[in-house]
Structure 1
C-alpha cells in the first residue's frame, strides 16, 4: 500500500514550522528570545507569535523570567525513553479534549495500519457523545468520513485493495455502494477540503474528517454531530482542520531521540 502524494496542507506547514522553532529552542538550553527565534528560523514575526502561543499552550515551550523561551514539560516527556508511548497518548488526549471543546463535537484520531482502519483515540462527553459503532468501522470505510478520508490518502491500487477486502454494504439510504462512484469521488476530493458523511453510516449522525498524514502513515482527525446540528458541520470541520497542527506535531515528535544534542529535529 502506498500513500497518494499531495501538496502539504496548512496544518502540515504549521507543524513543520513548529518543529523548526522547537529545534532552535532545544539547542539553546539557556533560552532564546522571540527575536532570536525569528532570526534563526526565518519565520515571519506575526506567524512566529501565533506558533509560540500554540507551543506554550500545548506545553512544548515555556517562557522564563527574562522573556526567553526554553523547552517545556510536554516536549521532555515525549522525547523521554521511559513511558514514551503513554506520554504520547496523554498528550494527544489533552489536545483532543481541547479540540472537542473548541469545535463543540466529539472528536477522533484514526489511522490506517496494515490495511485496516483503527480509531486510536477520541474525546467525547455526556453532552457530546461519540458515534455508536453499530457496524465495525473497519468494514465501513465507504460510509464514514473517517474511512473516506483515510482512503483518499492511499493510491488507486491501495483503495481498490481495501474495497476488494470489504464489501460495500448499504447501511442507510444514503450509503454509496458503487465502487466506481466511490472511487471517482475519492479521486476528486481536494486534500484541503474536509470529507463529509451526511447520514451515510448512521441515521441521525453527520461527520467530517481531515487528513493528518505523518510520514508514511495515513491518519485523520474527525468529528461527529447529531443531524439536528448539521448546520454546524462545515464550520466545525474548518475549525478542526485549522487546529490540527498540535496533533501533527505530537505525532512527528514521537520518533525523535531522547537526547537532542547532536540529533536535530527535521520536519517531515
Structure 2
C-alpha cells in the first residue's frame, strides 16, 4: 500500500513531482557539512553519522568525498570545515558587505542629491570600488585614469594624505604629478606640502583640478592601516552647496562607522 501512496504524491502536481528529482546523496552531504560546521573543534565520523541519522558506512563514504573535494579536512580522526567551504562562506560575507556599502551610498545619494563614491588605497593603487549616481546627478566621467591622477581629484588626495611618507613617495614615483586642468597642482613638491598640511581626519575639497566644471569633497575613513574614503561631486555652478553637502555625508559616515568597519574591504 505504501508504494501507490508515494506514486500519487509524486505525480499529483508539479511541485511534488519535482521533488523526486532531488539527489539524496547531495542532501546527505549537505547535512554532514552543516553538522561539521556546528563543531568548532571538530567531530569524529561516528558522531557525525549519529547526528545526521546516516549509516556509518554512508557517512564515511561522503566524508571522504568531501575531504577529497576540499570542503572538509581531517585531522587526527576529527573532521573540520575545509578551505572550499570557507571560501563559500567568505564569498557570502563579502557580498553582504558589498550590499551594505551599496545601500549606504544610494541612501546618501538620494539624501544629499549628489553622486557618492567609495574608494580605497589597496595594493599600491587607488581603487574606486563603488559609485552611486542618478540621471539627474551623474558621476564624474573618468576621462583620465583615476589610479594615475590621484594628485588631481579629491578621492586621490584624501587617500594619499592618509599614507605614510614612503608609501606616498612610491605612489608619486609611479604616477607623477601632471596638469589636467589650469587648476591642477603644478608639481609633486607643491602636492606633498599640501598633503602634509592636511590632518588624517580632515575633509578634502578639490575644485576643478580633475575636470573643469566639477567640484568634489572627500571624507577620510581610516581603520587601522586601511585608507579609504567616501566622496561627493557637484557641478561647479553648485559649488556653494559643497561644504554643507560634505558635512552631511561626514555625519552619516561617522554614524555608520561601526558597520563600515565590517564592510571596508568589499
* Structure-1-length-normalised TM-score: 0.62
Extract unaligned runs of 5+ from structure 1: 1-79, 256-268
Could you list the per-position Cα deviations for residues 208-256 of structure 1 after superposition, in whole angstroms to 9, with x for gaps in the alignment? 001112232110010000111011111111111111135532332359x
Contact preservation (8 Å) 2:97, 2:262: no
Which residue pairs with 1:232 in the alignment? Answer: 241
- Tell me how far apart the structure 1 counterparts of residues 148 and 182 of structure 2 sit (CA, whole Å): 17
More displaced stretch, 97-106 vs 138-147: 97-106
- Alignment CA distance shift 1:82-1:195 (3 Å): closer
Contact preservation (8 Å) 1:95, 1:246: no
- Tell me how far apart the structure 1 counterparts of residues 263 and 251 of structure 2 sit (CA, whole Å): 21
Could you list the per-position Cα deviations for residues 65-111 of structure 1 after superposition, in whole angstroms to 9, with x for gaps in the alignment? xxxxxxxxxxxxxxx75611111111111111111122221000000
Pick one of 71, 85, 93 that aligns with 2:94: 85
Which residue pairs with 2:40 in the alignment? Answer: none
Counterparts of 1:73-152 in structure 2, within 5 Å, are 83-152=92-161
Counterparts of 1:208-223 in structure 2, within 5 Å, are 208-223=217-232
Which residue pairs with 1:162 in the alignment? Answer: 171
- Tell me how far apart the structure 2 counterparts of residues 101 and 139 of structure 1 sit (CA, whole Å): 30
Greater relative contact order structure (CA < 8 Å, 6+ sep)? 1
* Structure-2-length-normalised TM-score: 0.63
Which residue pairs with 1:33 in the alignment? Answer: none
**Alpha-carbon RMSD:** 1.7
Considering fraction of residues, name the structure with more helix: 2
Contact preservation (8 Å) 1:100, 1:124: yes
Could you list the per-position Cα deviations for residues 121-180 of structure 1 after superposition, in whole angstroms to 9, with x for gaps in the alignment? 111000110010000000111100000000010112221111111021110000012111
Contact preservation (8 Å) 1:175, 1:200: yes
> How many residue pairs align between the two structures?
176
Which residue pairs with 2:183 in the alignment? Answer: 174
The higher radius of gyration belongs to: 2
- Alignment CA distance shift 1:246-1:178 (3 Å): same
